[in-house]
Structure 1
């Protein structure tokens, strides 16, 4: 294991055997390449981020991360079939399911079936022990029924997400106790091209700007993307886009995550495309229930107050609205949201939370004063589905 790795030139993983890199952090000024868009990596490649030396502060990007300062991150695994749907209902007690498309899925892979109940915690993860065409045998029976029919023209079939990827970035297992996971952060002039990658034990709980993957004040991100990835069992968010425009976030699966998941941060961000992402089991806290703000009519709450603000004032969330966590936190209408699924948030599926002017790093600036997200025309919001959430949609 390394105490840290600084890349000034180019480090590329050979694709002739399985490889592992274990390090406290990676500081990337040059290029880190595991596969390319044209030629994805086919062997297993695992980067494990440790935390044996606590409290390091690397160029304003913290610790235990892949931290990109003017460099380029190319991570490309060989999976593109991130999720599908059940072909028929899977009854409680069965260990066999049929799906619409199991292409690229393999014995040993971990999958997750979404809840089709009002309870988002009826999502279930299982491992594949046998597969024949689109028929899958699971390692143990299902505890719950997962609906698999189209009724009266409404597609109510459970989604089935694939969590396994051959290229993985993770924190070491101690993160499950500290909730201080790994993170990937791209600063201005940096570039990220990420596909077919698994991110787990990532994000640093209750710590700003330390998320599983995070474009931070990059400006124009045209051509950059995260797609066909799985992001699961994380401690703070999923994909954060901050002060960055024109990215593509496509065909990703998230599961068992904390706080707003697909997070558009300050309301200045435009031109980003969120297409066919599946978010499963978005939580407000690691273990506690949400404490959402009560927006009911006067007298609806037990204490007679119109707004219950204990969740807003909580010290146990990163920002106040995380106590009403959303799978898709949307702060500017000038972005594309197409064919996404919010399948089981403890609080909110899609939240259109447009500020009067952009906030955070842009608050009070001339750019912020000139931007009026609440008055902008809503961009494309089409084909999106919310089910098994406390609230499917809030605006």
Structure 2
């Protein structure tokens, strides 16, 4: 909880350079300071319960998370934490917004995002609609000033095998709540920091912030968030949408809760339509008015079994 973006802290997350790899032996540039756990724990359920429900009694694998931050291709913004830049330039990193197709594979992003500007995220797939060609695969994002990977008004994108580390506010971010059938698979998120300049919910951030359950989350890891690992902060218009998949995800060492579900009440055959749009009009006098929905699902059927 007391970790800092500039890493001037006593948190037990450690950064090291890899000097050599020999089989299963990794040589670091200097020794680790803290003990990082790797263990296999037996289930804490009675033997008769395990006999009746063996699927609930697998051994628990406890492992410290390890993420590779460097890539051969690098995109870096500016960082003037020492005050050497122009006034207002602190935490004002680069951002990439795509209104058609985004395709990034094995790229490193550093000092990205703008801390006080809505919509200025490191990687932002923005209002592209049905877009299975969009993908962010094998990338690393670290020391970002606002979020990590944002899927906004986009469906069927692939977010896979990425590392997001040491970032402000929600990390893997489904923005409006109409987004559906996107795949988040084998992603790692670590050290999610609070932000007091964006959404109210960013004061209790989640590494994975989920506004619509009609997406796929498989084999992701969330560790070291100031508050939540995975947060289903479901948009009211999406709370009856069909839950697609949330399977084999791991959350640990978070400040509040690993998996937090506000309201997910899936109804049979309640699917998010591709033409569902959400617009948020801005007014000079009173900040943000209520979002306007077009084509939102209206599902009053039976609860999904």
TM range, normalised to the smaller chain? 0.7 to 0.9
Residues 1-395 of structure 1 mapped to structure 2, 5 A cutoff:
121-152=11-42, 153-174=59-80, 178-187=90-99, 190-285=100-195, 316-357=196-237, 373-390=238-255, 391-395=257-261
Aligned-residue Cα RMSD (Å) equals: 1.6
Question: What displacement does 1:172 show?
Answer: 2.9
Inter-partner Cα distance in structure 2 for 1:199 and 1:156: 29
Question: What displacement does 1:176 show?
Answer: 7.1
Question: What displacement does 1:175 show?
Answer: 6.6
CA contact (8 A) 1:330 1:352 kept: yes
Q: SS of 2:129's equivalent?
A: strand
Judged with a 3 Å threshold, the aligned counterparts in structure 2 of structure 1 residues 195 and 333 are, in CA distance, closer, same or farther, namely: same
Inter-partner Cα distance in structure 1 for 2:259 and 2:14: 23
Judged with a 3 Å threshold, the aligned counterparts in structure 2 of structure 1 residues 350 and 143 are, in CA distance, closer, same or farther, namely: same
Q: SS of 2:145's equivalent?
A: coil
CA contact (8 A) 1:273 1:336 kept: yes
Inter-partner Cα distance in structure 2 for 1:217 and 1:259: 21
Gaps of 5+ in 2: 1-8, 43-58, 84-89, 262-305
1:264-312 deviation line (CA, Å, top 9, x unaligned): 0010000100000000111114xxxxxxxxxxxxxxxxxxxxxxxxxxx
Judged with a 3 Å threshold, the aligned counterparts in structure 2 of structure 1 residues 175 and 214 are, in CA distance, closer, same or farther, namely: farther
Question: What displacement does 1:199 show?
Answer: 0.4
Inter-partner Cα distance in structure 2 for 1:123 and 1:220: 38
Gaps of 5+ in 1: 1-118, 286-315, 358-372
CA contact (8 A) 2:101 2:133 kept: no
Q: SS of 2:17's equivalent?
A: strand
Inter-partner Cα distance in structure 1 for 2:115 and 2:224: 21
Inter-partner Cα distance in structure 2 for 1:350 and 1:255: 15
Question: What displacement does 1:120 show?
Answer: 10
Inter-partner Cα distance in structure 2 for 1:354 and 1:120: 34
1:74 corresponds to which residue?
none
- Which moved further from structure 2: 147-156 or 258-267? 147-156
Normalised by the length of structure 1, the TM-score is 0.56
Judged with a 3 Å threshold, the aligned counterparts in structure 2 of structure 1 residues 120 and 245 are, in CA distance, closer, same or farther, namely: farther
Inter-partner Cα distance in structure 2 for 1:200 and 1:186: 18
CA contact (8 A) 1:120 1:281 kept: no
Structure 1: which 4+ aligned runs deviate by more than 6 Å? Answer: none
